[in-house]
Amino acid sequence: MAAWSVPVSKIYRGNETISQSVPRIKGVRDILPDETPVWRFLEQKIHAQAAAFGYREIRTPAFEATELFVRSVGSETDIVNKEMYSFTDQAGKGLTLKPELTAPVIRAYIQNNLHREAPLTRLYYIDALYRQERPQKGRLRQFHQFGAEAIGSPYPEQDIEIITLAYDICSAFCSDLTVRLNTIGDPSSRSTFLELLRKSLEPHSAAFGPLDRRRLQSNPLRLFDSKDEHTQDLLDRFAPRIHEHVSSEDAEHFATVKSGLEALGLPVLHDPKLVRGLDYYTRTTFEIISPHLGAQDALCGGGRYDRLVEDLGGPSVPAVGFAAGIERLLIAAGGELPGQVPPNQVDVYLVSKGDRSTQPAIELAAKLRKSGYVVIMETLRRSIKAQFREANRTGARAVLILGDDEIAAGSVTLKLMDSGHQETISLDRATDILGDYLRPERPVDGG
**Residue numbers of the site for ligand HAM (CB under 6 A)?**
100-102, 131, 133, 138-140, 143, 145, 147, 149, 278, 298-303, 321-325, 327-328
The smaller minimum CB distance to ligand HAM, of residues 297 and 405, is found at: 297
How many C-beta atoms surround the C-beta of residue 48 within 10 A?
A: 10
The smaller minimum CB distance to ligand HAM, of residues 74 and 138, is found at: 138
Alpha-carbon distance 368 to 106, whole Å?
47
Alpha-carbon distance 157 to 318, whole Å?
13
Nearest distance, CB of residue 327 and ligand HAM, angstroms: 5
Q: What is the DSSP letter of 240?
A: P
Yes or no: say if 197 and 221 are a contact pair by the CB < 8 Å rule: yes
The smaller minimum CB distance to ligand HAM, of residues 149 and 406, is found at: 149
The smaller minimum CB distance to ligand HAM, of residues 146 and 208, is found at: 146
Contacts (Cβ under 8 Å, ≥6 apart) of 72? 102, 103, 106, 278, 279, 280, 308, 311, 312
Closest CA to 376 of 354, 403, 394, 356: 394
The smaller minimum CB distance to ligand HAM, of residues 67 and 428, is found at: 67
The smaller minimum CB distance to ligand HAM, of residues 133 and 390, is found at: 133
The smaller minimum CB distance to ligand HAM, of residues 308 and 375, is found at: 308
The smaller minimum CB distance to ligand HAM, of residues 165 and 223, is found at: 165
Nearest distance, CB of residue 135 and ligand HAM, angstroms: 8
Nearest distance, CB of residue 131 and ligand HAM, angstroms: 5
Nearest distance, CB of residue 347 and ligand HAM, angstroms: 38
Nearest distance, CB of residue 393 and ligand HAM, angstroms: 35
The smaller minimum CB distance to ligand HAM, of residues 190 and 283, is found at: 283
Alpha-carbon distance 274 to 251, whole Å?
15
Yes or no: say if 286 and 156 are a contact pair by the CB < 8 Å rule: no
Yes or no: say if 253 and 282 are a contact pair by the CB < 8 Å rule: no
Yes or no: say if 98 and 62 are a contact pair by the CB < 8 Å rule: yes
Closest CA to 101 of 330, 337, 326: 326
Alpha-carbon distance 362 to 429, whole Å?
16
How many C-beta atoms surround the C-beta of residue 315 within 10 A?
A: 13
Closest CA to 349 of 313, 307, 297, 402: 402
* Run of H or E residues at 174: none
β 298-304/319-325 pair status: antiparallel
Nearest distance, CB of residue 353 and ligand HAM, angstroms: 50
Residue showing the smallest CB distance to ligand HAM in the complex: 325
Nearest distance, CB of residue 249 and ligand HAM, angstroms: 21
Alpha-carbon distance 159 to 256, whole Å?
10
Nearest distance, CB of residue 308 and ligand HAM, angstroms: 9
Yes or no: say if 140 and 328 are a contact pair by the CB < 8 Å rule: no
Nearest distance, CB of residue 320 and ligand HAM, angstroms: 7
Nearest distance, CB of residue 156 and ligand HAM, angstroms: 16
* CA 371 to each of CA 318, 413, 423: distance values in angstroms, whole numbers, following the listed order: 51, 19, 21
Alpha-carbon distance 447 to 439, whole Å?
14
Torsion of CA 257, 262, 268, 271, to 10 degrees: 40
The smaller minimum CB distance to ligand HAM, of residues 243 and 328, is found at: 328
Nearest distance, CB of residue 220 and ligand HAM, angstroms: 20
Q: Which amino acid, one-letter code, is at 31?
A: I
The smaller minimum CB distance to ligand HAM, of residues 224 and 349, is found at: 224
Alpha-carbon distance 172 to 299, whole Å?
13
